[in-house]
Structure 1
Amino acid sequence: MNALIRVVATAFVALLVGACATLPKHALSEAEIASLTLAKVKVTFPSDGSVKWAEADALETKERETPRPDLHQIERAGFRSYAEHRVAAALTTESHRLLGGILQGTRPARLEITVRSLLIPTTQERTGQVLAATALTVVLAGPIAAGVAASTTQGIFITCDIAIVDMATNAVLASVDGVKASSASAQFSGESVDSIAAAVLAKVKSWLSEKASA
């Protein structure tokens, strides 16, 4: 048990370091940001990206075990298509909701969000997260323990690359890679998808709101 706690505690320290890491500053001035207006949001899922969903993984196993693999391939593609569509819609909605207040100018800009990974954990992975949180509460108490439990049981993880593009010239005005967020729930539901989209765009908003690099 002590060994488990040490392993989990080490992982949690790494999680804290990652959570506290700030995004690199952009080079846009406050005036340049104020001159922009969010005219369009483009969300893409590149072919080399990772979309992992427990149900889709189960269908992949069926492909290898049944005489009708083509049927399961279609079903698995349907899971991925649905996940991508739902996440893209949430990211678009949250982009307009959270960035509209700071992009109030007249120069049309496009926000490009490239989803590099979307991971929806399996039942076994969710169980492991709960056990990790329980182990950590043995050595941590009070609000810290509650925070540990919330952090280690977060379910859906997303990683995005962000770019602000001038629509008149297609020039990239600012970009940042590896914006990460996670939901409080491991279930793929409207609430959890909306929460990870809001978390991503809250980070983008903070990134844009910071003063440019010197």
Structure 2
Amino acid sequence: MSDIYSNRAMNQKPFLIPEELILYREEIKKSVFITQLNHTPSVAEAKAFIEEVKSQHPAARHNCWGFVAGRPEDSMKWGFSDDGEPTGTAGKPILAQLSGSGVGEITAVVTRYSGGVKLGTGGLVRAYGGGVQQALKLLQTIEKKITTKLLLELDYGFVAIVQGLLIQFDAQEVEADYSQQVKMVVNIEVRHVSDFTQSVINKSGAKVMVTPINGKQ
């Protein structure tokens, strides 16, 4: 049971995602390696990015890739491919760099234009993994917060109390109807919902109604 609660808490925490596309190019023994990193929030978007890169380099001998398409620790959304390179020399080194970076929702595609000189299995592992490692050093990230929406129904006398709690819990009012009674929709991090709700109840004497609105943003 404790593992369930632990996993639930982990899934509510913010995590880092790529801010923009990164491109890193290097030449190793006449082979050109072009590494691209991009933000891909889902497996489908990761695969779409891979196909996009392949279309950019139709003459390339290999377009090897790896992705972490969800939270950094969610291995159910990992994937990789050697795309014709010897097994274990490209996709796994790429994924190893991504999964160890602490960044989620990220895909790396490494395009290789072969120069005719064989690199050997060790050389390929170093080239593919190293390219991603160098590209990650250039990567700018932003924090992705896991949020949800709540509907608050309250009398005007409690508006100041609620606005104070919104500031305290870093929540935002996204919609409001100020008629006979105030109806307010707020966006708040999932991990703060329980404490926020309890604080609203305590400070209003249970006179403010808090209702979850289905769906995470």
TM range (shorter): under 0.3
Which structure has the larger Rg?
2
**Which structure has greater strand proportion?**
2
TM-score, with length taken from structure 1: 0.24
The TM-score normalised by the length of structure 2 is 0.23
More helix as a share of residues: 1
Give the number of the structure with larger relative contact order, counting CA–CA contacts within 8 Å between residues 6 or more apart: 1
